Amino acid sequence: MYRNRVLRTLLVLLLMFSFALSVPVASGQRRRYRNPEAGKKKAAKRIGIGTAIGAGAGALIGGRKGALIGAGVGAGSGTVYHYHKKRKWRHRHRRY
């Protein structure tokens, strides 16, 4: 009796694994590639670095007010740089 139950359990597990391996999953779909230049962390890093450099340069040139203006300009330029890098990667890795 015990042996019969073990054999039945093994048979059920074998059938489950055979169905899991035999069914092709998404074989007809194209693989989507992730853009490594995109991402919130990279965007925050690029914008933050631009802000810091702009604030430093503005502080050297115009004091406190210059630092605020420089931080704004640096944040804008960091954002533009991030969008440029994303677009450049997409352009290089086009799917035809």
Task: Look at the block and give the residue holding tokens 């391996």.
Answer: 21
Does the reported pTM lie above 0.85? no
The tokens describing 42, both together, are 């990279």
Core vs surface per residue 23-38: b (16+ CB within 10 A) or e: eeeeeeeeeeeeeebe
Local confidence pLDDT in tens for the 96 residues of the chain: 666 777 778 777 777 767 665 555 555 677 777 888 888 899 999 999 999 999 999 999 988 899 999 999 999 999 999 999 999 988 888 877
The full set of domain ranges for the chain reads 35-92
